[in-house]
Amino acid sequence: METIQEPSVPDLPSGWRGRLPGWATVCEGAAFLAFVLFFLLYGQTPLVGGDGLGLVGADEPRYAQIAHEMLDRFDAAHTLKSKLSACVTPYLYGKPWLEKPALYYWRAMFVFKDFGVHDWVARLPSATFAFLMVALIYLHMRRFRPGGHLDAALITVACAGIIGFARGASTDMQMAAPLAIGLLGWYAWYETDSKFWLFDIYFFTGVATLAKGPVAPVLAITIVAAFAFLRRDDQRKLIPWFFSGTWLYTGTLRSAFYLVSFGLSNLILAAIIFAIQGSFLAVVIVLAIFDAVVLGIRFLLTVLPILRRSFWWPGVLLYFAMVLPWFIAVQHQNPDFFRVFFLEHNLERFATDRYEHQQPFWYYLVVVLLGLMPWTVIAIRALIDGIRTSVCEWRTRYFNRFKKCPGQPGDAFPEFLVLWALIPIVFFSFSQSKLPGYILPSIPPITILTGDFIFRRRQNGIRLWVLISHASLCGLMTMVALLMPWFVAHSPQMPPQPELGIGPMLTFIREFIGECIRVRPPWPALTAALLSSSGAALLILVVVKGFGVARLRLATTGVLVVLVLFLCGVGPFLGLPAIPQTKRVIQLLDRSYSARPLAAQLAAQLGAMQLPADETVAVFRVRRDVEYGLSFYRNREVINYEDSGVPDEQHLLVARVTGRGGVDLRTEAALEEYLEGRHYEQLFSWPEQGLVVYMVGSR
């Protein structure tokens, strides 16, 4: 009898050793952490690259000061109730500041408590949220779209929009990062039908709401509803069905109960709003918004099965349990909160130019192109590819026109990412107030599409014109970065902002180029910048052609690493000292755009004159970033001549005497009128920002 020998089973690792990741996974994770931490933290913290640049703009020092004052009130409270009460209302210079919810102030307050009140600490909330977002993109793609996960994560963290806002003490990353995590979680639920993932959209949308208000759930619901609409199987004509009302009352006891509850909630809400505001107009506005939202949700839940399955009562309760306590508490402490926050800083900000942030309709197209740098060319190519895939899938689904679509047939992920990318851009393009950070939520889906696009092109390669355009853009970015210190030091005068239209835009570009030529750098600097930019472009071309598309991320991020080192300098690093000669660029930027070195010089001047450190400081004709920056670094509000008049006591005065390009603002003549014969003398000048500091005698 022939004996059949069973094949031997190979020995498998047992216990915890069998669960350890492989060497390739460890190396990939280490590379991911190294690049992410470098782009988010280098040049921002004292231990890694130094905190070379102080707070810039008006928002950074203002938000940091609000968190500082909240921490002071929190520390001064002695009971749990008073400590919780201190965390409700944001204050700026002792007055309620109700423009934004309190999430950023809470997070900044507690990192201030751990690390001290410093400008670099005020930026940690944005950096940590950006890290969480990039890490979740990496893990999500690794789980559901393996292969392009590292490309997607590194492209996300290595684009200008994410690097810039991750280093800002602002609320933009506080909303964009949780919203991105929540939407990725919702799509994971869509693919797996696991309630574990559905939890993400409710929890993280609640976090985003506490960062910026109702715009977060509006964006999340709109993106999910648009996706559900395009993936629906119901072919009924929606508009006639909507006006028929049959979706609202179906003759069942359940629909009757819904209508009764809807009417009672209107009466209760009207009574509450009238008791709070005492205005019938406020009641009408709130009820109109409430009814539109409730009826819209009811209709969408009826017609869209995906949206109906997404409506999860535990998640809804979780969202309101996170959001309502703060909104109710701040309304209780500040009866005008509803008017200031909802009516003025949400509805009026969207519908009017009250806050003087008006921009052309196409403004966000430019912002997105700049925010995706240096990946703009490939990102736009990937977005177009995603749009083509989505349109092809939609035509096949609704018109039965079969056509081979790029990508995997039936794959809904590109369609979801395209909607996620385009909806914030379109939504905020209709806003009358436009700021760059508004469309930060559109950056992650485009970078995810880009990473997936590069992965899918590894076999066939990227078209030559796309690769050359990408390399040329990286070279141009290198030249701009290398020449930036010269233009900062010589401050070319910007032409007036162009009006809507191609002609005014071309005129603006021509005048701007002419101004740059007028203050052009010397030929040795131009030659060095040109050679460096050519070298960066050639490096990308050679690496991709020699080693394949898989090395595109390494070549491009390598160029970015060099530029970051050029701008921020080399060192310090975990105790190793910095190289002083490499810090000149960041020191120039700090003196030109931040109030930190000026505040330090004012403190030194007061010490030399043997005056108290809390001596009154006033400003005249300075930019808002200088005013708020001096207030933060001195932890005391500066007095603005134009708003509060001239103080009677002796004080320091910071006045702006020259504008961009050295234009004389005739400040001396205006000061004579304000001071009315009082003695004043110049102490020192600050030419980087066109400022002069005076000592003004008492009245």
Instruction: For residues 556 and 355, give the distance between their C-alpha atoms in angstroms, rounded to a whole number.
Output: 39
What pLDDT, on a 0 to 100 scale, did the predictor assign at position 658?
Answer: 84
**Residue 577 per-residue DSSP state:** P
Q: Is the dihedral of CA 318, 323, 325, 328 positive or negative?
A: negative
Question: Is pLDDT larger for residue 134 or for residue 352?
Answer: 134
- For the residues 32-39, what does the mean pLDDT come to? 94
Is the same domain home to 572 and 629? no
What pLDDT, on a 0 to 100 scale, did the predictor assign at position 501?
Answer: 59
Retrieve residue 442's tokens: 């559109």
pLDDT band at 354 (very low <50, low <70, confident <90, very high): confident
Count Cβ atoms below 10 Å from residue 361 Cβ, excluding itself: 10
- The model's pLDDT over 480-524, given as tens digits with 9 standing for 90+, comes to 999 999 888 877 666 666 665 566 667 777 777 776 777 778 888
**Does 38 fall in a domain?**
no
pLDDT band at 5 (very low <50, low <70, confident <90, very high): very low
Instruction: For residues 255 and 261, give the distance between their C-alpha atoms in angstroms, rounded to a whole number.
Output: 10
Is the same domain home to 571 and 468? yes
What pLDDT, on a 0 to 100 scale, did the predictor assign at position 9?
Answer: 42
What pLDDT, on a 0 to 100 scale, did the predictor assign at position 269?
Answer: 80
Is the peptide bond prior to 612 cis by the omega test (within 30 degrees of 0)? no
Instruction: For residues 651 and 618, give the distance between their C-alpha atoms in angstroms, rounded to a whole number.
Output: 7
CB 539 within 8 A of CB 559: yes
Instruction: For residues 537 and 629, give the distance between their C-alpha atoms in angstroms, rounded to a whole number.
Output: 39
- Partners of 187 in the β-ladder: none
Is the same domain home to 496 and 571? yes
Instruction: For residues 211 and 205, give the distance between their C-alpha atoms in angstroms, rounded to a whole number.
Output: 10
Is the same domain home to 575 and 608? no
**Does 107 fall in a domain?**
no
Is the same domain home to 574 and 666? no
**Does 555 fall in a domain?**
yes
Domain boundary among 581, 607, 625: 581
What pLDDT, on a 0 to 100 scale, did the predictor assign at position 474?
Answer: 95
CA neighbor of 293 nearest in space, from 274, 313, 269: 269
The pTM for the full model equals: 0.88
CB 625 within 8 A of CB 660: no
- The model's pLDDT over 641-694, given as tens digits with 9 standing for 90+, comes to 998 888 989 999 999 988 776 677 788 888 888 888 888 899 999 998 989 999
Is the same domain home to 483 and 572? yes
pLDDT band at 246 (very low <50, low <70, confident <90, very high): low
Structural domain containing residue 691: 595-696
Instruction: For residues 645 and 662, give the distance between their C-alpha atoms in angstroms, rounded to a whole number.
Output: 27
CB 49 within 8 A of CB 41: yes
CA neighbor of 119 nearest in space, from 633, 623, 624: 633
**Does 514 fall in a domain?**
yes
Is the same domain home to 572 and 601? no
What pLDDT, on a 0 to 100 scale, did the predictor assign at position 6?
Answer: 41
**Does 674 fall in a domain?**
yes
Lowest mean pLDDT, pick from 28-32, 177-181, 540-544: 28-32
Instruction: For residues 620 and 666, give the distance between their C-alpha atoms in angstroms, rounded to a whole number.
Output: 12
Is the same domain home to 599 and 508? no
- The model's pLDDT over 435-474, given as tens digits with 9 standing for 90+, comes to 899 999 999 999 999 999 999 888 888 899 999 999 999 9
Domain count of the fold of the chain: 2
Instruction: For residues 305 and 284, give the distance between their C-alpha atoms in angstroms, rounded to a whole number.
Output: 32
- The model's pLDDT over 151-201, given as tens digits with 9 standing for 90+, comes to 999 999 999 999 999 999 999 999 999 999 999 999 999 998 888 899 999
Count H helices and E strands in the chain, helices first.
Answer: 31, 7
Instruction: For residues 1 and 444, give the distance between their C-alpha atoms in angstroms, rounded to a whole number.
Output: 67
Lowest mean pLDDT, pick from 203-217, 286-300, 319-333: 286-300
Judged against a pLDDT cut of 70, whether residue 14 lies above it is answered with: no
The type of residue at 301 is: L
- The model's pLDDT over 552-599, given as tens digits with 9 standing for 90+, comes to 999 999 999 999 999 999 989 888 888 999 999 999 999 999 999 999
Residue ranges of E strands in 347-485? none
**Does 211 fall in a domain?**
no
**Does 547 fall in a domain?**
yes
Lowest mean pLDDT, pick from 69-83, 292-306, 416-430: 292-306
Is the same domain home to 486 and 535? yes
Name residues whose C-beta falls within 8 Å of residue 532's C-beta, 6 or more positions apart in sequence.
478, 479, 482
- For the residues 73-89, what does the mean pLDDT come to? 91
> Is residue 592 exposed (0-12), middle (13-18) or buried (19+ Cβ within 10 Å)?
middle
Is the same domain home to 569 and 626? no
Is the same domain home to 481 and 573? yes
What pLDDT, on a 0 to 100 scale, did the predictor assign at position 65?
Answer: 96
**Does 621 fall in a domain?**
yes
- For the residues 615-640, what does the mean pLDDT come to? 93
What pLDDT, on a 0 to 100 scale, did the predictor assign at position 408?
Answer: 59
Is the same domain home to 533 and 639? no
